[in-house]
Amino acid sequence: MKRLLSFALTAMLAISAQAQAPQSPEIAARSYLLLDMTANRVLTERDADTPNDPASLTKLMTAYVVFGALRDKRLSLEQTLPVSKRAWDERKGDPSLMFIDTLMTPKVDDLLRGMIIQSGNDASVALAEGVAGTVEQFVAMMNRQARAWALTNTEFKNVTGMTETGHKSSARDLSVIAANLIRDFPEYYAYYSQREFTYNKIRQHNRNLLLTRDASVDGMKTGYTSAAGYCLIASSQRDYPNGKRRLLSIVMGAASKEARASESQKLLNWGYSAFDAVRLFEKAQAISTVPVWKGVLPEAKLGASGAVYVAVPRGEGAKLQTKIERSDPLVAPLTKGQRVGVIKVSTTAGVAVAEVPLVVLEEVPLAGIFGRAWDAIRLWIK
């Protein structure tokens, strides 16, 4: 029978004091969320699961699906796409535009810049049709991806973010989309840091004011409709002695362009100043070495697949304890990356801070018939 074993890691200091979460700032917005991407922890939030009109923040999912098509070689950056009448018709209602027309055949690279930097609705439609044939089929792809990520408060009705009945998302769901875009497509993320783009002799500036105010901000997306108010997802990465740290702020329903920028800046500054990112373990660092049965090796090295960071209130990094929970016995074969337990990080008062999968770091193949038979006898006796 398998038993669940817990092992306290003595490398961490145990100090009997409970970390108190810092007081978060007052944010003037309908809803907001601040995510520490490095530690994968939400630092503060308000009404983050309330569905709202996402406006042009929608285009993050539009871009994610297009980037997937580029990754899968169904599209290329140098490929040209036609501009349909439907894309041209996006001019109605005075939306954000790249200003393409039906006589043009822009490159995918230009359309991406038009959608991301200029927030062009016409570029979004042209890209959607280029990937999926129709906007409706592309929207279905967006919604399939949302369901794959279990975004229960998100439903897309279009690719632009224009107000439409049933078109919705939440601050938390949008943080998932943005974080996955950054992690999955780092080669395309640089689009979001570009401050201006000129196409067809029309020069437009990126509407993300923080790109010119905070050198650590390198993206991501603004949005506005009368129903949504002013929205901004801002991504910032700063260097620290123990490595780079990225925060992601989502502000929805601010009162103005200036307000969405200033409230986002307030969240980012507070997150960096009020919390420390503590690196507990390096990538593929052996945290524990344990016996293995019926394997060619007598022991297996266990740890986390990547570097483990946790976000804790400033100065509380030493007040942590780490515990391993794993199944016993471990029986070969074991594959590299196989999950065999969990690493739990908490304060000494028992407040959970993080939970990370415990995985096998090196493969342990099955032993020969005699080795397996001997270990079978030993396990039976045990």
Catalytic position from the list 2, 24, 31, 59? 59
Quote the distance between the C-alpha of residue 93 and its chain's center.
33
The question of whether 92 is a catalytic residue gets the answer no
Dihedral of alpha carbons 74, 80, 86, 92, sign: positive
The question of whether 193 is a catalytic residue gets the answer no
Quote the distance between the C-alpha of residue 120 and its chain's center.
24
**CB of 313 within 8 A of CB of 307?**
no
> Measured between alpha carbons, how far is 181 from 175 in angstroms, rounded to an integer?
10
> Measured between alpha carbons, how far is 219 from 208 in angstroms, rounded to an integer?
8
**CB of 208 within 8 A of CB of 217?**
yes
The question of whether 56 is a catalytic residue gets the answer yes
For 223, residues 6+ apart whose C-beta sits below 8 A from its C-beta are 54, 55, 56, 57, 58, 59, 119, 161, 230, 231, 232
Catalytic position from the list 31, 56, 170, 262? 56
Catalytic position from the list 2, 16, 31, 119? 119
Would you please indicate which residues are annotated as catalytic (active-site) residues?
Answer: 56, 59, 119
